[in-house]
A = this chain, B = another copy of it.
Amino acid sequence: MAGTNRTQPPVTGGPRIILIEPQLAENIGATARAMLNCGLTDLAIVNPLQEFPHGRAVAMASGATEVLDTAQVYDSVEDAIADLNRVYATTARPRELTVRVATPRLAASELRNAWRAGEAVGVMFGPERSGMTNEHVALADTLISVPLNPAYSSLNLAQAVLLVAYEWFTADDETPAEQFVEPDTGPATKAELVAFFERFETALDTGGFFRTPEMRPAMVRNLRAMLQRGNLTEQEVRTLHGVVSCLTGSWRDTENQKRYREADK
């Protein structure tokens, strides 16, 4: 899914992402991408196994290098989260601690509320293979556990970051759940639709489509309901007029041709 829309303002600001002892530089780069996909730019790295900055992190970051450029490296988790008010830890559930566990969706909602209230917030992620230690988990307020197939729940680090960051982003995103994209046209009015329906039904009458007068009302209703479900645009109604003309042979009428050819533009 390629795409960069430069007409809308970038989305910035949000929780710090803290990577605890990440093992591979590529994963830091992939994390930077996942963060920037969701408008997050504050990255903290605690004791990376491979030196940082690292060429492979930059290569993987591919366009998200601004996140790497401003990333901070720390010696300890305590230092990385010192200025934060609220910290979540994303991890499989530890067994020896009494903890509160939230889904990414709930955590994102809470992070949004806290962030709007002026709190400094962050989300921690542990090393790729071993996961986060209980000592580090105990530095967090709440755990995030990602709901996944119990039979196969292993995610790589950047994917875990992406899912949490995506929930953060969508918690306050104004994209409507559903949109109709209609280049150069708009929805037809009911008058335009009914005018088409009547012409269409007349053509069907002429062709003997409705076997008996008794069956006609129900068949007409069904046809109209079917066509209405398509949420036809003005241009599409014109196209359908052209279709009817073509199929009935009235296409040969030049006036009709001119009028309905507009629908091809």
Q: How far is the CA of A95 from the CA of B10 in the complex (A)?
A: 22
Residues of B within 8 A of A4 (CB): 150-154
Question: Which one, A111-119, A163-171, A220-228, is touching chain B?
Answer: A163-171
Q: Are A147 and B131 in contact (CB under 8 A)?
A: no
For residue A211, CB closer than 8 A to chain B, the reply is: no
How many residues of A are counted as interface, with CB atoms below 8 angstroms from the partner's CB atoms?
69
Q: How far is the CA of A181 from the CA of B91 in the complex (A)?
A: 14
Supposing A1-B154, A177-B106 touch, asked if A148 and B162 sit within 8 A by C-beta, the answer is no
Chain A stretch 93-151: residues in CB contact (< 8 A) with chain B: 93, 95-103, 105-106, 129, 131, 145-151
Contact residues of A with B, CB < 8 Å?
1-11, 33-34, 36-39, 63-64, 90-93, 95-103, 105-106, 129, 131, 145-155, 159-160, 162-163, 166, 169-170, 173, 175-183, 185, 231, 233, 235-236
